[in-house]
Amino acid sequence: MSLYDEGHTVAGWTGVGIATVGGSVAGLGVCTASLPVVAAGLAVVAASVLVTWVLHLSGWGKPPGVRPRDQWGMRVRDSGAREGHDGCVGCRLAGRGRRTEGPGPASVPDAVAAEPVPVAPAE
């Protein structure tokens, strides 16, 4: 089994199940040439994204990357979901996520900032 164990979660499998139903409905709409059925299928696919995201944020999804072996089970809820996961786009979209402290914007010393900038005379 892979150390990454991506997608083996309640959020992942629920999202795939809902998206499969939505894709099937959209395919049925294409085969029957029915635009409303295609639109309904695509709406179900969009709903699957939202359901997966909500489940991930509530702890039923896992962060990307290597996890300890005791967290590989599908029924193990992630206790770190409330703070957000490193490198997780879904957590960042929700306003969560651990931000690493890096160098901030370069500061300009006060003496340099106070000096007037010379302007060339107009010709």
Cβ atoms of 93 and 99 closer than 8 Å: no
- The per-residue b/e assignment along 62-81, b for 16 or more CB within 10 angstroms, e otherwise, is bbeeebeeeebeeeeebeeb
What's this model's pTM, rounded to 2 decimal places? 0.67
Closest CA to 9 of 68, 49, 60, 51: 60
Cβ atoms of 81 and 56 closer than 8 Å: yes
- Print pLDDT tens along the chain (123 aa): 556 666 678 888 999 999 999 999 999 999 999 999 999 999 999 999 999 989 988 888 877 677 777 777 777 787 777 777 777 777 778 787 655 554 445 544 555 555 565 666 766
